């Protein structure tokens, strides 16, 4: 076998390995997204119905009785669970669930056209996050103003529908059947925490065969291209891979600094 033939075979083998790795990443991402969605909805139902949670919330809010509790799971609203108390007080909770303290994952996603009406910002996000996906290093745009970053953080945490604006962020540690721990923080306290630390940083690089780009808005808040959840047989991507996705990181430090753990008795 001559050198040229050997090099061609090596290149073909590398191409096959790249394609196999891409299929594996697609499969893992699809399974992870499905498990996370199911787990989140389970946690919302448990939170709304668990009498230990009811008792803990009564003490936390200094209320006497729960009149109603409902899970809005699957509604894509910013409030996941809503409680009404006997003083005619209503609280809305946005839940983030994991199997151990700390959370890193989805906070919201929208098509670019719905994410912002600011045409200049749209152009920046489209250029940096959505276009030229094969190039691991592109020219970094000028960062947009910190005040714009703060607005994006606020809109992502609170949403644009006043009726469904959450009053609290709740981190739930659970399995599929039992809530083990509950951490709670007023949403305005969390918002101020992220706004006070707001800064805009463009990140890019390559992880294996995957091009990675994101924009940090504050420590623990990033935006990125959502990516595909898999492909149909004809090669069409499932879901909306070009949506702008916001991710949040709830660290142990954040839990200690501004969250309160509710006693479950």
Report the pLDDT value the prediction gives residue 175, as an integer from 0 to 100. 86
> At residue 4, does pLDDT exceed 60?
no
> At residue 23, does pLDDT exceed 60?
no
Residue with more model confidence, 47 or 6: 47
> At residue 29, does pLDDT exceed 90?
no
Alpha-carbon span 101 to 22, nearest angstrom: 31
Q: Name the band, by pLDDT with cuts 50, 70 and 90, for residue 35.
A: very low
Which contacts (CB < 8 Å, 24+ apart) does range 143-151 have?
A: 143/200, 143/201, 143/202, 144/120, 144/200, 145/200, 146/198, 146/199, 146/200, 148/118, 148/121, 148/200, 149/198, 149/199, 149/200, 149/217, 149/218, 150/195, 150/198, 150/217
Residue with more model confidence, 33 or 203: 203
pTM for this entry: 0.80
Instruction: Encode pLDDT of 79-134 as tens digits.
Output: 999 999 999 999 999 999 999 999 999 899 999 999 999 999 999 999 999 988 77
The average confidence (pLDDT) of the chain is 85
> 22-26, 45-49, 103-107, 201-205 — which is least confidently predicted?
22-26
Instruction: Encode pLDDT of 151-200 as tens digits.
Output: 999 999 999 999 999 999 999 999 878 999 999 999 999 999 999 999 99
Going from N- to C-terminal start, the domains of the chain cover 3-262
Distances (CA, A) of 93 to 79, 157, 179, 182: 5, 11, 15, 12
Q: Name the band, by pLDDT with cuts 50, 70 and 90, for residue 257.
A: very high
Mean pLDDT (whole number) for 190-219 = 91
Report the pLDDT value the prediction gives residue 32, as an integer from 0 to 100. 41
Q: What would the two tokens of residue 139 be? A: 């020219």
> At residue 224, does pLDDT exceed 50?
yes
Q: What would the two tokens of residue 231 be? A: 């492909």
Report the pLDDT value the prediction gives residue 132, as an integer from 0 to 100. 84
């Amino acid at each position: 076998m001559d050198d040229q033939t050997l090099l061609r075979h090596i290149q073909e083998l590398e191409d096959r390995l790249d394609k196999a790795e891409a299929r594996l990443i697609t499969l893992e991402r699809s399974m992870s997204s499905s498990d996370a969605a199911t787990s989140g909805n389970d946690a919302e139902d448990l939170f709304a119905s668990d009498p230990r949670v009811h008792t803990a919330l009564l003490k936390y809010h200094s209320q006497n009785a729960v009149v109603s509790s409902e899970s809005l799971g699957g509604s894509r609203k910013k409030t996941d669970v809503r409680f009404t108390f006997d003083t005619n007080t209503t609280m809305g909770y946005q839940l983030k669930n994991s199997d151990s303290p700390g959370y890193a994952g989805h906070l919201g996603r929208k098509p670019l056209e719905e994410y912002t009406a600011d045409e200049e910002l749209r152009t920046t996000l489209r250029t940096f996050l959505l276009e030229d996906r094969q190039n691991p290093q592109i020219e970094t745009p000028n960062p947009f103003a910190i005040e714009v970053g703060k607005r994006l953080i606020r809109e992502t945490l609170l949403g644009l529908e006043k009726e469904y604006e959450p009053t609290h962020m709740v981190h739930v540690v659970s399995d599929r059947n039992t809530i083990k721990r509950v951490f709670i923080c007023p949403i305005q306290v969390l918002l101020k925490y992220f706004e006070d630390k707001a800064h805009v940083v463009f990140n890019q690089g390559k992880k294996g065969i995957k091009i990675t780009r994101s924009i940090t808005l504050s420590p623990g808040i990033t935006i990125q291209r959502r990516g595909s959840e898999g492909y149909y047989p004809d090669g069409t991507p499932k879901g909306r891979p070009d949506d702008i996705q916001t991710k949040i990181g709830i660290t142990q430090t954040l839990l200690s600094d501004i969250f309160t753990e509710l006693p479950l008795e």
